[in-house]
A = this chain, B = another copy of it.
Amino acid sequence: MKDCTIYKTIDIIGKRWTLCILLELYKGNNEEKRFNELKKKLQTITPKTLSVRLKELEQEGLVKKTLDDSKDPVIHTYSLTRSGEEFIQIIQSIKKWGLEWKFENKICGLSNCKNCKL
């Protein structure tokens, strides 16, 4: 199982916060974002978890980390790679299914849900 394409991708999706992070990065035309900026937006995420997730996503090739050492202190930023941007399509299909089949009223239970504005 562990080598299966589908399960590998599921492993990425399934972890807590991963989707939040991808969506957060996707916002604003995928402009580069900083660690504490992400942390602030994601509110209750702990630095440890954010750190772990970002590293995983980097390894998986969905997120890239950029260093700008022309400035002092050095600035680290995160953004989606091409593959990360394409990944949003999966989220779209999840959203499509969810809206069609999961809720009678066709809207997300969260008022003003940023994910549903995809």
Q: Would you call A3 and B97 a contact (CB within 8 A)?
A: no
Q: Would you call A115 and B13 a contact (CB within 8 A)?
A: no
Q: How many copies does the complex hold?
A: 2
What band does the interface of chain A fall in when counting residues whose beta carbon is under 8 Å from B?
A: 35 or more
- A9 to B5 Cα, complex, angstroms: 20
Would you give 16 A-B contacts (Cβ < 8 Å), ordered by A? A3-B108, A4-B109, A4-B113, A4-B115, A4-B116, A5-B109, A5-B116, A6-B108, A6-B115, A9-B94, A10-B14, A13-B94, A60-B102, A61-B101, A86-B100, A87-B101
- Report the 9 A-B pairs with minimum CB-CB distance, sorted nearest first: A14-B14, A3-B109, A5-B98, A83-B101, A93-B93, A5-B108, A9-B98, A6-B115, A9-B94
